[in-house]
Amino acid sequence: MPSIDMPIEQLRQYKPSQYREPDFEDFWDSTAADARRQPLNAELIPYNLPARGVECYAVRYDGFGGGRIAGWYLRPASVGRFPGVCVYHGYSGRASRPLESLHLAAQGVCVLSMDCRGQNGQSQDANIYPEGHYLGWMTMGIRDPRTYVYRYVYADALRALELLAGREEVDADRLVVTGLSQGGGISMAVSALSDRPALSLPDVPYLCDFRRGMSIAQAGPYLEIPGFLQAHPHLYEQTIRTLSYFDNVNLASWVRCRTVVLNCLWDDVCPPSTVFAAYNHITSEKQMEVYPFHKHEVPYEHEETKFRLIMDIADE
């Protein structure tokens, strides 16, 4: 199998040591508890989508620590208790739009998508970061894990899942989290920080093995970190310490649900080894779908695999 990275035999064995700080568990216990405790103040605003048998809503809820998070919600128009899917988007993108989720809602699945704060959707980022950062979002607040932007993003994502689970038409025992790239990394983190998901479907996940990603990625947001460190070389250890709290290498062993990961061996944005690094720490039921000739993308065949897996949950 070709790869821009290690040979496939080495990839399957690649399992870098976890590098958790002593307060890692306390940090996430308190952050997750705060995220669940904060009122959602959710609004579902009807949206006129002429789709038979499906209701569509624009969503707004309070972000972790302030601001309003935006997204979309589709549900079957019939009465019942339905499985739910929470969708997180890729870096610098926006939430899945209604037509992009219609194929699931039409099959009796509730779908909630979330705009990451401050990125290319409608979610606000009301947090004040104490100092400057490099172009993009990767280094916002990076001098301290409590001020780092992904603490807020992961907490917002947990709150989105709580919103979905709390809907009266949603069966909270049949929840799925999924996303591409950044969304895949968020899906994996949420699966580690919440016991709600029954199935996790991270596609070419970002936010895995930062130390290797920032060293070998040829494109994409990992490169923002060395860009920051070129200006602040004295902050290297501090930066790695902050990133350690958000690295799925350190979170993956907490994943408890079934997990099916997509990995593409020509991916120069999220190199295959970074995905294996986190995947190999997952101890729950898992499988990896490897595509040797694809880049940073989701092949049609894998979209069909995901659809079948979600339908299996729907039929339980």
Q: Would you name the residues annotated as active-site residues?
A: 181, 267, 296
Distance CA 74, CA 178 (A): 16
DSSP state, residue 179: E
Beta strands in the chain (DSSP E): 43-46, 54-62, 68-76, 82-88, 110-114, 170-180, 199-203, 258-264, 286-291
Residue 276 phi, psi dihedral angles, 5° rounding: -60, -35
How long is the chain?
316
Q: Choose among 164, 80, 52, 63: nearest CA to 116.
A: 63
Beta bridge partners of 111: 74, 85
Measured in Å, how far apart are the chain's first and last C-alpha atoms? 36
Under DSSP, is residue 316 helix (H, G, I), strand (E, B) or coil? coil
Distance CA 259, CA 176 (A): 10
For residue 310, give both structure tokens.
């979600």
Q: Evaluate whether 169 touches 234 at the Cβ level (below 8 Å).
A: no
Q: Residues of 25-37 as b/e, b for ≥16 C-beta within 10 angstroms? A: eebbeebbeebee
Distance CA 94, CA 186 (A): 14
DSSP state, residue 148: -
Q: Evaluate whether 27 touches 20 at the Cβ level (below 8 Å).
A: no
